[in-house]
Structure 1
Amino acid sequence: MQATFILGAILVVAVTFAGCTGSTTAVPSFSVDNNGILSVTCAPVTTTDTVLFTNDTYTESRVVLHTQTGDVVTYLSYPKQPKAVIVYIPGAGEKISGHAERMVNYAAAGYAFMFVDIRGRGGETDGYTFNPQTDYTKFESGDWPQYYLTICDISSARAVLANRFGVPVYAVGGSNGGRYAAVAAGVDPKFAGYVGISTADWGLRDAVLDQGGSGDILRFATSLEPSTYLPRISPRPVWMFHNATDPFIPFSEGKALFATANEPKTFIEFNGDHGINSDVDQRLIAQWAQIYGT
């Protein structure tokens, strides 16, 4: 981790925010329709912002989302007047230390970058490793599956950042994180668009169908799949990045997910192996430069 992230905190700010719905009186709830499409009303959140480093160019901070079901830790880097904001959902094993230089580079290019340590990754945010069976048991009993709570966390991050900066906010994710980000962008129409990197469907819906499953179990499995939501992102843009020799998620599966999106959409084969890297960063910043200027 860069030294800027381990400097002592110089400022702590606590902010109350309404979360996904923008209403402090909202009653949290979720529903899944017969097509497996998730809808959520998220509980209000508050935030604590601890500034780790600041200068005339950018600021880096640790932002904790205080939800009704536990704290979610994020890290944010931003220039004084960002042109857009990235809510980045990491894949398994990704650490904030691996993104310190990236966060500075995006800030220097004029964009805010938030790394969300989602539930169950083994980082600073509590939770269990993604477990569809555990979540289905909760779903059947009417309790919140952790997967749905995570979608609310991502949406709450968007709402907090949109309120703070007043600029477009994009859902971006790599590998497993790209799956969560796709669902969040489809569920929350206030995201400006979606970027998926080295990602594809989970394959849960197909597994249920192969086993002759139907009813609630099929509806639940469908609600977890990115392809359920990609068509709903249009007319907001979708960008997807994948490497032809990806060793973890096959290129063909990434293309299959991309095929479910409606226009406008762009598929880019990048240099690397799996997950976000400097080539993806440069291509993405170049794409956005056409929209927001240099």
Structure 2
Amino acid sequence: MIKPLLWITGVIAAGYLFILLFMYLFQAQMVFHPTKQMGTDPSAAGLPFEDVTFETTNGLQLHGWFVTAGDSAPTILYCHGNAGNISGRLETIRLLHELGLNVFIFDYRGYGRSEGTPSETGTYRDASAAWGYLTETRGIEKEKIIAMGRSLGGSVAAWLAARKDPAAAIVESSFTSAAQLAADFYPWLPVRWLLKYDYNTIAYLQNIKAPVFMAHSRDDEIVPFHHGKTLFEAAGKPKMFVELRGSHASGFLETETKYRKQLRSFLVKHTPYKMY
């Protein structure tokens, strides 16, 4: 009787160790889901845009779009989430453009037409390079730039805003940290020991001096709602939180009227620009 029990225990232990090894070795594939093929571009939504190529500090060529609403308009520097590429964000671009905002959206290394391979450090470097493109190449003052990100991009945007002091920061559907999100998904694994990724959004938020706008859906199936509320509590003032309804990727669309109204109100109140 003892031998079968020992054998079963050994099989279970071996299986558990295999899962731990798999999770450790294939983290990058679980975190980043880039798509190289571009599905469309802003012209499909009738939006004027420039194809932009800019360079990172380590010489990679990154690709983005600059969608203009006018020379005097403030500019959104948009950091997208972990999957797809910029061609899947036309609804976001359209909404922001209709609010009277320029939008500069770019692909991280390894996504779309951008060179390289995704990494956490790489996403930060890429966001910093995008900031440099706006401020140095286009000559846009930092007081006219709003750092914005959704999901993983919210963490990247918070990192950027903590270091560059933009006019405002917009962090949507994001998580407190990679470790906490992983622990929510895999409570039976020692993810804090295994995880190579930080994405410590809550720490970045605490260092942002600019006004912060946050939105999160109570129905979010990817990043639980409590992450958004915890982040909001950690952010400094002034700040605004909008509770959305709908899925992780489309809550802002499923609650578009409310979302649009509150975002416009935030920007009018906390930045020196009047929205359309």
TM-score (norm 1): 0.64
Q: What are the ranges of 5 or more consecutive residues in structure 2 without an aligned counterpart?
A: 1-39, 184-189
Aligned in 2, Cα 1:159/1:169: closer, same or farther, shift over 3 Å? same
Q: Which residue of 1 aligns with 2:159?
A: 183
From 143, 154, 175, the counterpart of 1:200: 175
Q: Which residue of 2 aligns with 1:287?
A: 266
**Does 1:87 find its partner at 2:80?**
no
Q: What are the ranges of 5 or more consecutive residues in structure 1 without an aligned counterpart?
A: 7-52, 133-144
**Does 1:171 find its partner at 2:210?**
no
Aligned in 2, Cα 1:104/1:243: closer, same or farther, shift over 3 Å? closer
Q: CA deviation at 1:188?
A: 1.4
Distance 1:59 1:83 in 2: 14
Letter in 1 for 2:101: Y
Aligned residues: percent identity?
23
Letter in 1 for 2:43: T
Measured on the aligned residues, the alpha-carbon RMSD in Å equals: 3.4
Letter in 2 for 1:117: D
Greater mean alpha carbon deviation, residues 82-91 or residues 164-173: 164-173
Q: Which residue of 1 aligns with 2:223?
A: 249
Greater mean alpha carbon deviation, residues 239-248 or residues 103-112: 103-112
Distance 1:110 1:94 in 2: 26
Q: CA deviation at 1:212?
A: 9.0
Aligned in 2, Cα 1:287/1:162: closer, same or farther, shift over 3 Å? farther
Q: CA deviation at 1:231?
A: 1.6
Q: Which residue of 2 aligns with 1:73?
A: 63
Q: Which residue of 2 aligns with 1:59?
A: 48
Distance 2:219 2:95 in 1: 27
- Runs of 4+ with deviation above 6 angstroms: 205-208, 210-213
Distance 2:263 2:101 in 1: 11
Aligned in 2, Cα 1:211/1:283: closer, same or farther, shift over 3 Å? closer
Report if the CA contact (8 A) 2:42-2:49 is conserved. Answer: no
Q: CA deviation at 1:270?
A: 1.6
Aligned residues: 222
**Does 1:112 find its partner at 2:102?**
yes
Report if the CA contact (8 A) 1:193-1:238 is conserved. Answer: yes
Q: Which has the higher strand share?
A: 1
Q: CA deviation at 1:129?
A: 3.5
TM-score (norm 2): 0.67
Aligned in 2, Cα 1:207/1:60: closer, same or farther, shift over 3 Å? closer
Q: CA deviation at 1:124?
A: 1.4
Aligned in 2, Cα 1:166/1:87: closer, same or farther, shift over 3 Å? closer
Q: Which residue of 2 aligns with 1:142?
A: none
Q: Secondary structure at the match of 2:218?
A: coil
In our comparison, the structure showing a higher alpha carbon Rg is: 2
Q: CA deviation at 1:102?
A: 4.1
Distance 1:125 1:63 in 2: 11
Q: Which residue of 1 aligns with 2:126?
A: 150
